[in-house]
Amino acid sequence: MPMIVNGQTFYRTSEACQMVGISRSTLLRWVKEGSLDIREYRDRRKWRLFTEQEIDKLSLEANRVSVDR
């Protein structure tokens, strides 16, 4: 269930992965590699949170097609 803080909606890692259709390990690898331009938000339990805009970025990355020639 998303949480709303100061009018902004945040999603936990499992919610973000489910929305985008990727595994948790894939998401955390992308974050660790720095291949995503996202900020780090955490709740009081230190769980990572993602904004709706970051979910959009994740979706673009997950659905990106590369062409090798």
pTM of the model: 0.82
The domain 3-62: what is its CATH number?
A: 1.10.1660.10
Question: Kind and range of the H or E element at 49?
Answer: strand 48-51
pLDDT band, very low/low/confident/very high, at 67 (cuts 50, 70, 90): confident
Q: Which tokens belong to 8?
A: 């902004």
Interval 15-49: pLDDT, tens: 999 999 999 999 989 888 988 888 899 999 999 99
Q: Where does the pLDDT of residue 12 fall: very low under 50, low under 70, confident under 90, or very high at 90 and above?
A: very high
* Domain edges within the chain: 3-62
Separation between Cα atoms, residue 41 and residue 38, nearest integer Å: 9
